[in-house]
Amino acid sequence: MSKKLAVAMFGQKRLSREGGVEIVVKELCTRMAQDGCDVTCYNRSGHHVSGAEYDDATIEYEGVHQKTVPTINRRGLAAVSSSFFAALYSAFGRYDVVHIHAEGPAFFTWLPKMFGKRVVVTIHGIDWRREKWQSGLGSKFIHQGEKNAVKYADEIIVLSKGVQDYFNDTYGRKTHFIPNGVDRPEIREADLITEKYGLTKDSYILFLGRLVPEKGILYLVEAFKDVRTDKKLVIAGGSSDTDSFLKELKNLAKGDNRIIFTGFVQGKMLDELYSNAYIYTLPSDLEGMPLSLLEAMSYGNCCLVSDIPECAEVVEDKALTFKQSDVEDLRKKIQDVCDHPEIVMEMKTQAAGFICKKYSWDEVAKETEELYRGEKGCE
């Protein structure tokens, strides 16, 4: 019988749906705890990005221990300060493995390594390229985190083949490709979304994700305004550190009452939005591995995505694509799907079966645990 592993994880804000990192950590931790691992998550202090009403103060979550670390709650300092203390506690704690998520927190890879821990880093995307970090020291700090992961981590996990190639070409570093997973969800009829927003089955186009510039939402709003359709455009998600960007989006959408901003959603509201969309769209310029795209397909949605490798790799030929950053091409593609429901129906029939077979959270947790134990080779 395998030894029971003690695992520390950090890099996430908390176990929530605030972003892709948080969802990945939640899915991994709960499965590993069920499998007999002793898992501790070191979370930031402070409130959920979408407001204190979404906070969950549970210390034990489905067998996972949650500990809050000191955090300087100022933009740019929250991630750095919480990651430092999480790395410190992980270094001194009785853990077999320390699993760090994302390039910024990976700056502190050396700290648990110095105390003899086996350190695994998951690269969720090339974060130093993100627009929000381009001013000030953010980009340099995160880039150094990437280099520290290369230098000190025992193992590095990547979520896409493109990022795997990047690490090989840039650093000559071998990595493990373990993509994100998805579960087959419960499909819900429109209820809350009808009551709150007047939405019904197939009456809207959906974007669901963090409202940040690299998600391409400006292109989407610009393109949609020139589409001839009665369908609504629903933009669902919290604004993270980017309230000024949300204002910019709302200004651009002004005058078109077909565009609805819901704010952060979870639970039944989230299920209903995914379950009843006409199409789901993800116009991103930059992604690690888009979890919202996996989720949208698992609900049987026809998806329209930018042709960046990280999206194309996921959907293969089971979704529609447009040229990255090309507003006119996006407008044409949206108009096409509005005018030709038969294309949408064909894609919907294939999406869920394809994506649930290709990506499984149980398999992701199993492969990650094998890596912790040194049983998985590079691929």
What string of pLDDT tens digits covers the 379 residues of the chain? 467 999 999 999 998 888 889 999 999 999 999 999 999 999 999 754 444 444 455 566 889 999 999 999 887 788 899 999 999 999 999 999 999 999 999 999 999 999 999 999 999 988 777 766 666 677 889 999 999 999 999 999 999 999 999 999 999 999 999 999 999 999 999 999 999 999 999 999 999 999 999 999 999 999 999 999 999 999 999 886 668 899 999 999 999 999 999 999 999 999 999 999 999 999 999 888 899 999 999 999 999 999 999 999 999 999 999 999 999 999 999 999 999 999 999 999 999 999 999 999 999 999 999 999 997 665 5
Q: How many domains does the chain have?
A: 2
* Phi, psi torsion values for 256, nearest 5 degrees: -115, 100
217 and 77 in a common domain: no
Residues 210 and 298 in one domain: yes
**Residue indicated by tokens 């990651």:** 83
Whether residues 125 and 210 fall in one domain: no
| CA dist 87 → 10, 49, 239 (Å) | 8, 22, 27
Q: Do 353 and 365 reside in the same domain of the chain?
A: no
Q: In the structure encoding, which two tokens stand for residue 294, read together?
A: 């996996």
pLDDT of residue 52: 46
Residue 221 in any domain: the answer is yes
Residues 206 and 333 both lie in one domain: yes
In terms of residue numbers, what domain contains 35? 6-181+360-372
pTM of the model: 0.86
Tell me, yes or no, whether 233 and 344 share the same domain.
yes
Q: What is the CATH number of the domain that holds 64?
A: 3.40.50.2000
Q: How many other C-beta atoms lie within 10 A of the C-beta of residue 366?
A: 16
Pair 14, 22: CB distance under 8 Å: yes
CA gap 265, 55 in Å, rounded: 13
Residue 176 and residue 40 in one domain: yes
- pLDDT tens, residue by residue, 88-142: 999 999 999 999 999 999 999 999 999 999 999 999 988 777 766 666 677 889 9
Residue 89 is assigned to a structural domain of this protein: yes
Q: Are residues 231 and 241 in the same domain?
A: yes
State the distance between the two ends of the chain, measured CA to CA, in whole angstroms.
26
